[in-house]
């Protein structure tokens, strides 16, 4: 099936994108990423530990030649911090992409849309391929498209909540409103959530806690891989219409005793 996901001229081999946080160690991270079949891996930017030189580097486990590294600005609460973090991420030399997060509130981790738009404008102008983490708000999605973002990443539910697709109708409206790809980011808790996102017509799903927070992250990574494939196929197949009453699937003709 020729069903490639291409964003900003980049071809993505999988519609499942994964985060690398909350795993017990880099070895488990690596195995979960492999089991998920993802080729986009998002990573955070942090100070190098200069006192403990023995600390291993994530990129020794997640090979940038094998995976598309998507640096994120997680933990940034202002446009200025997010822009600074994105610039540093690009200077590390593995990617021009950035998952732009400007967090507005610590409890909900909901995005600060005003600051997000401001940061996105600056980074698009500087040539970044910007993937903004946003609310499931069609108006905001349109604004982000219009200023030149490569895709939008609406949340399905709060980050790390595992509540699933809280507002499928908003996602549908976003899909109808904009032309750039829609990548659901955050809130997916189990395989059926991922399948629902794909059945709605979303282009990809990014998740972290849904896999890392499972009792068996490697099994869940594999489950998510199939859920994304199944959901996408179902979307392409076009579901049957829903009906209130039964409709027999066996012919009545030739029935005994008739």
Of residues 94 and 233, the one with the C-beta less far from other proteins: 94
Q: Which stretch binds other proteins (CB under 8 A): 113-121, 202-210, 220-228, 242-250?
A: 202-210
CA distance linking residue 71 with residue 119, whole number of Å: 15
Q: Which residues pair with residue 205 across a beta bridge?
A: 16, 184
Nearby residues of 238 by Cβ (< 8 Å), 6 or more positions away: none
Among 7, 19, 124, 143, binds other proteins (CB under 8 A): 19
Selected binder of other proteins within 14, 78, 81, 87 (CB under 8 A): 87
Q: Which of 71, 138, 154, 231 binds other proteins (CB under 8 A)?
A: 71
The binding track of 218-247 with respect to other proteins, each residue x by CB under 8 A or -, is ------------------------------
Q: How many CB atoms lie within 10 A of CB 245?
A: 4
- Answer yes or no whether residue 193 interacts with other proteins by CB under 8 A: no
99 catalytic, yes or no?
yes
Residue 3 burial by CB count (10 A; 0-12/13-18/19+): exposed, middle or buried?
exposed
Dihedral over Cα of 218, 191, 145, 101: its sign: negative
Using CB under 8 A, which of 1, 3, 65, 91 touches other proteins? 91
Closest CA to 230 of 79, 37, 57: 37
Taking each helix axis as running N to C, give the angle between helix 138-146 and helix 113-125, from 0 to 180 degrees, rounded to the nearest 10: 20
Stretch that binds other proteins, among 7-15, 98-106, 174-182, 248-256 (CB under 8 A): 98-106
Indicate which single residue of 14, 31, 58, 78 sits in contact with other proteins (rule: CB under 8 A): 58
Query: Which x/- pattern, by CB under 8 A, does the window 101-140 give for other proteins?
Result: x-x--x--x-----------------------x-------
CA distances from 174 to 152, 167, 219 (A): 9, 11, 31
Of the candidates 22, 30, 68, 99, the residue annotated as catalytic is: 99
Q: Which residues pair with 133 in a beta bridge?
A: 153
Considering the complex, state which of residue 141 and residue 206 has its C-beta at the smaller distance from other proteins.
Answer: 206
Could you say which of 8, 14, 34, 44 contacts other proteins (CB under 8 A)? 44
- Catalytic annotation, residues: 99
């Amino acid at each position: 099936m020729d069903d490639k996901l291409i964003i900003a001229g980049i071809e993505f081999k999988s519609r499942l994108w994964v985060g690398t946080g909350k795993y017990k160690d880099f070895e488990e991270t690596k195995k979960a990423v492999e089991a998920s079949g993802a080729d986009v891996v998002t990573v955070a930017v942090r100070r190098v530990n200069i006192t403990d030189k023995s600390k291993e580097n994530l990129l020794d486990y997640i090979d940038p030649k094998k995976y598309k590294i998507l640096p994120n600005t997680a933990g940034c609460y202002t446009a200025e911090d997010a822009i600074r973090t994105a610039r540093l991420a690009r200077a590390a030399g593995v990617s021009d992409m950035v998952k732009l997060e400007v967090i507005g509130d610590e409890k909900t981790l909901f995005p600060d849309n005003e600051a997000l738009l401001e940061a996105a404008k600056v980074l698009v102008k500087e040539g970044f391929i910007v993937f903004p983490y946003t609310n499931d708000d069609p108006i905001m999605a349109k604004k982000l498209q219009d200023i030149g973002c490569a895709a939008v990443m609406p949340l399905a539910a709060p980050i790390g909540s595992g509540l699933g697709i809280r507002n499928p109708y908003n996602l549908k409206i976003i899909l109808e409103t904009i032309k750039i790809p829609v990548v659901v980011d955050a809130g997916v808790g189990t395989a059926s959530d991922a399948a629902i996102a794909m059945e709605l017509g979303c282009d990809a799903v990014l998740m972290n806690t849904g896999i890392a927070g499972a009792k068996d992250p490697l099994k869940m990574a594999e489950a998510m891989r199939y859920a994304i494939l199944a959901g996408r196929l179902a979307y392409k197949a076009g579901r049957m219409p829903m009906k209130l009453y039964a409709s027999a699937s066996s012919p009545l003709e030739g029935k005994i005793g008739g």
